[in-house]
Amino acid sequence: MPIQIIVHKPDRILEVIYPSQPTQADVDDYLARVRTEIEALAGDWSALVDQSQLRVMPSNMVTVMAKLNAYAQLKGMKRSARIVSTAGSGLQAWRMTKQAMLTIPARTFESREDALNWLKNPDDE
């Protein structure tokens, strides 16, 4: 199953949904598609990354995704919310954020609703 990308234009949120075990071909395809979507946003936007189905991300994929996150921040990503289902996947999301050296607000959530609410209401903190 490929990595899904959904752009919520009114809210300027780029949503990514990972399958349980993405292949290298899935990742390569995703990288090409997501860069096009990021460029099309042209300005400030937020990321909603659903990793709740993802079992374990191989270390080489963590490095690739960390680089993508750094690129995304340079291209206008202002907030990043990740949906995780286990403490281990939350730790992996934190590690990727740290490796990307993100300076934007980034949080992990267990529910999509909470993550979307945080992205849509940045002044409620």
Ordered by start, the domain boundaries in the chain are: 4-120
pLDDT at 47: 97
Q: Domain 4-120, what fold?
A: Transcription Regulator spoIIAA (3.30.750)
CA nearest 67: which of 96, 45, 47, 40? 96
Task: Read off the pLDDT of residues 38-82 as tens digits, 9 standing for 90 and up.
Answer: 999 999 999 999 999 887 777 778 788 888 998 999 999 999 999
Give me the chain's average pLDDT, please: 87
Residue 96 has pLDDT above 80, yes or no: no
pLDDT at 23: 87
CA nearest 92: which of 108, 79, 116? 108
pTM of the model: 0.87
13-17, strands of its sheet edge to edge: 4-8, 13-17, 45-50, 77-83, 106-109
pLDDT confidence bin for 7, thresholds 50/70/90: very high
